[in-house]
Chain A
Amino acid sequence: MIKNAKNRNMKNITKKIIIGLIAGIVSGLFSTGGGMIVVPALIYLLNMEDKKARGTSIFCILPMVITSGFFYYKSNYIDWKISLLCATGGMIGGYIGAKVLKKIPVQYLKIIFTIFLIYASYKMIMT
């Protein structure tokens, strides 16, 4: 029994290491998408509940983003004017979203978002 528990513990640690590594690489490569890996991984591989997985994923991703940011900064890829303006808009948008989005069903949003993804991926690959 103890051996079993130990085994499971080891397995979970390995899973977390792999989740971290993959999410980190994607996050560094594209600066986004870490959450799209961490959230489902926590839910399906570690049996975490939805809400906790979302909360945990943001906590995991911030250090990855700061690390990537450091390297982008060193290579002079940060345009502070654009970045700060976007971040300001982002906070306003986040506030609006928290108020308004509760009233729109997530299902429809998901479908719209998926259509956007297909269009965006087509455009980015083809041009």
Chain B
Amino acid sequence: MIEILIGIVSGIISGTGMGGGTILIFLLVYVLGVDQHIAQATNLVFFIPTSIIAIIINLKNKNIAVQSAILISVFGILGAIIGANISIKIDVNILRKCFGIFLAIIAIHEIYTIIKKYRKQKIRDNNKKKI
């Protein structure tokens, strides 16, 4: 039952495009006490059905640059083979810490984009005042 709840929360966040996967993995590790590897594997299965639906909708709305996507995918598969094989061999605790560092990098990037947007808004407001 908790699993379904965790899924629902992550699914709602996924809709915003902010990375429901990070939340899913975190909740699985800290609420359910699952190992990092298993939490990550769960996220892979979690991603497939929702993304297939999203791809169909986006293809219909012509929101996908198919040619670019295919080229990126081919090299993405190559990268995934490398990444997954490293991940599988890493010790659980080290993998979890690496994941934490990865989250910190995303957080810094998010803070940067929030500040950038805020500044743009301020410049726009100032221009309005001048007029």
Contacts and interface: CB of A to CB of B under 8 A. Distances in A.
Interface of A: 13, 16-36, 38-40, 42, 46, 48, 51-52, 54-56, 58-73, 75, 77-98, 100-101, 106-107, 109-111, 113-114, 116-118, 120-127
B104 A121 contact: yes
Given A16-B75, A113-B18, A125-B104, A89 B4 contact: yes
Interface of B: 3-26, 28-30, 32, 34, 37-38, 40-55, 58-59, 61, 63-66, 68-69, 71-88, 96-104, 106-107, 109-111, 113-114, 117
Contacts of A13: 71
A36 B106 contact: yes
Contacts of A32: 19, 21-22, 24-25, 40, 43, 47
B-side binding surface: helix, strand, loop or mixed?
helix
